[in-house]
Structure 1
């Protein structure tokens, strides 16, 4: 990244801000952090970092940010399943098209797209040890988030020319300090005594430490050159290995002092899916957003672990910190910053309510 001017969309987010920091650490000349939200609370002023608050749905704003960049890391997205349907299309697809068009307009040759393995999930079917080349996109996506991210990925890949090179890097279950989604939402529910094991509790997943993902994104940018196998390819990156998700969550809950999840009564698959279906139906009638959804339940009950050999081969990817170090450090951080966990979990609920009202 030596001497490059980089743009990071979603630069105030969990992944985005850490990427901004690591780009500076690796010699970037200038990093533009572009986000609709204010700078994150952990941001430390740095002369090499310029923050621009703006909306990727507005072409003129996007143009002003992208002009003069050497490489664009497109991280910004509406994630999860709780937002108004049209927002996913507007941000995840339309916003990406604005970024893409600006790159073409201002002759920015390299773009690294942050993707998601959920673009390859088929409803009700888990993934056990497959590589990206073995997984096809479904005809019907499991959620609007997955559909719009897939649509954007396809469009970016189809736009590749000799003068515009792109790749897509997908993490799975990102975790680490300042996580605002995975740990806060699940641990907040555990703190309230509500979280239970869904199904038999034996399903396995891959996880990805935030620094490892940011490392992979930067490797991908460095590999974008004529003739590289990375151009036009998509990759999944994780810490490597697989873990039973309920073992991880139980360990986290115990560490936080919230008690064991596994010692509580388990909820069978069909019961949990029935609860989620009813919750979605009633919430729709009331004009609200269901906090229990079939997609979320499904993600906690199926296998989701992957072969990352393609990223190892083409990107030269190797985790810079193993799970055995990163996971305990993450638990310790959240234990020491429990107020952050609670605030982010509560803020997520309020944010969804506000967006639903605007919709």
Structure 2
């Protein structure tokens, strides 16, 4: 199988390419910048902005001869205005669908996120029947929901599609979640809203990539899986406090959890979002209502559909993944020695 991966130089995209190459698939990547890691794997690379109309011909050429496309490119974040998210996540997805149709690519797997259905109060063991909320807490989740719906609506006898919803992807090389936690530690303390007892499921990067390969296989016989969406995760919900402190320990940082009153955290996020709107800030990782809500409430999912239709099982467990992370993590900055006068921050990561 010849497969095109959008966002192939990214954290998840690179692992998808690794696993495709490992099983003998001819792999093509498109991203904005070249990647030495992809070059070492032997992946053919195209530098393409999937949102730029001037690059559409090159996008189409990259898809030529492919039997499938994995669309993992996206703008992720917890804050920021709608326009850049819409351009990256909605317009970009429309262009990928169009390229698939022009080149008669028969299969498209879309990387969505479990946060497209998140709502205040959280999600406890929900399945794919849960509808999108009437209002999203952030432009990121709104545009990812729009993109997901576009991909599912594009399912047809000529283009089989499905979407995957991994959640909080982490592992070796993680540029988002664990580093954001490390930056948030000040003088040995981690300021977090609530007590951290809410159960959260996460997704190791190898688990997420493995699910994409299973989805590609499923779309070879799309009658059951085509046009559907699937939650993906470790299926091992843990308290937020345990997840965050153990990820920090794996990076060599010992921190103490310091509770911020939930109402204060929510109010601070609301005021902060208003300020960013007034100043027309384009920051994508500032403190936001979405981020605070996800740190206060549970979010874990029923993976029955993925097990049934994709034969999905996590290839690595949470504890084994942390052991691997401990062995491979680079030395961390000693945030405990920073000045206590420096203003503490709450971690802001894409969900």
* TM more than 0.5: yes
Match of 2:128 among 128, 132, 143: 132
Task: Say whether the 8 Å CA contact 2:68–2:105 is kept in structure 1.
Answer: yes
- What is the match of residue 261 of structure 2? 268
2:272 pairs, out of 271, 279, 285, with 279
1:23 counterpart = 2:20: yes
Do structure 1's residue 93 and structure 2's residue 90 form an aligned pair? yes
Are 2:161 and 1:166 equivalent residues in the alignment? yes
Structure 1 position 197 matched with structure 2 position 192: yes
How far is 1:64 from its partner?
A: 1.6
Contact 1:157 1:166 (C-alpha < 8 Å) held by counterparts: yes
Alignment partner, residue 225 of structure 2: 230
2:206 is matched with which residue?
211
Question: Where does the alignment leave 5 or more consecutive residues of structure 1 unmatched?
Answer: 340-359
**Change in 2 beyond 3 A, CA 1:72/1:202:** same
Scaled by the length of structure 1, the TM-score of the pair is 0.86
Q: Distance in 2 between matches of 1:190 and 1:77?
A: 28
**Residue 191 (structure 1) shift:** 5.1
Aligned 8 A contact 2:189 2:256 in 1? no
CA displacement at 1:258 relative to structure 2: 3.4
Verify: 1:298 aligned to 2:278, yes or no: no
Determine the structure 2 residue equivalent to 1:118. Answer: 115
> For the residues of structure 2 that align with 1:198 and 1:130, how far apart are their CA atoms?
24
Distance in 2 between residues matched to 1:9 and 1:285, nearest whole Å: 34
Query: Is the contact made by 1:74 and 1:113 (CA closer than 8 Å) also made in structure 2?
Result: yes
Q: Assess, with a 3 A threshold, how the Cα gap between structure 1 residues 31 and 43 changes in structure 2: closer, same or farther.
A: closer
Matched, 1:35 2:46: no
Q: 1:44 to 1:61 in 2, by over 3 A?
A: closer
Q: 1:261 offset after TM fit, Å?
A: 2.7
SS in 1 for 2:87: helix
* Separation (CA, whole Å) in 2 of partners of 1:275 and 1:125: 19
- 1:194-241 Cα shifts (integer Å, max 9, x gaps): 631311221110011111111110111111145531101100111112
Greater than 4 Å deviation, 4+ residue runs = 41-44, 191-194
Q: What's the TM-score, normalizing by structure 2?
A: 0.88
Per-residue deviation at 1:149? 1.2
Query: Which of 317, 321, 325 is 2:316 aligned to?
Result: 321
What is the deviation of 1:331? 3.4
Structure 1 pair 268–33 and aligned structure 2 pair: CA distance change class (3 A)? same
- Alpha-carbon separation, structure 1, partners of 2:231 and 2:5: 20
Aligned residues of 2:250 and 2:322 also touching (Cα < 8 A):
no
* Aligned match of 1:239: 234
1:83, CA displacement in angstroms? Answer: 4.2
Does 1:52 pair with 2:53? Answer: no
Matched residue SS, 1:68: coil
The alpha-carbon distance between structure 1 residues 27 and 192, as it changes in their structure 2 partners (threshold 3 A), is: farther
Partner SS, residue 6 of structure 1: strand
For each residue in 1:286-324, what CA deviation from the matched residue of structure 2 results, as whole angstroms up to 9, or x when unmatched? 443472211111111110111111101110011111112
- Say how many residue pairs are matched: 330
Q: What is the Cα-based RMSD across aligned positions, in Å? A: 2.1
Matches of 1:201 and 1:79, distance apart in 2 = 24
d(CA) in 2 for partners of 1:186, 1:6: 34
Task: Quote the Cα distance in structure 2 between the aligned partners of 1:227 and 1:20.
Answer: 22
Q: CA deviation at 1:139?
A: 1.5
Matched, 1:307 2:305: no
Equivalent residue in structure 2 for 1:66, among 63, 67, 73: 63
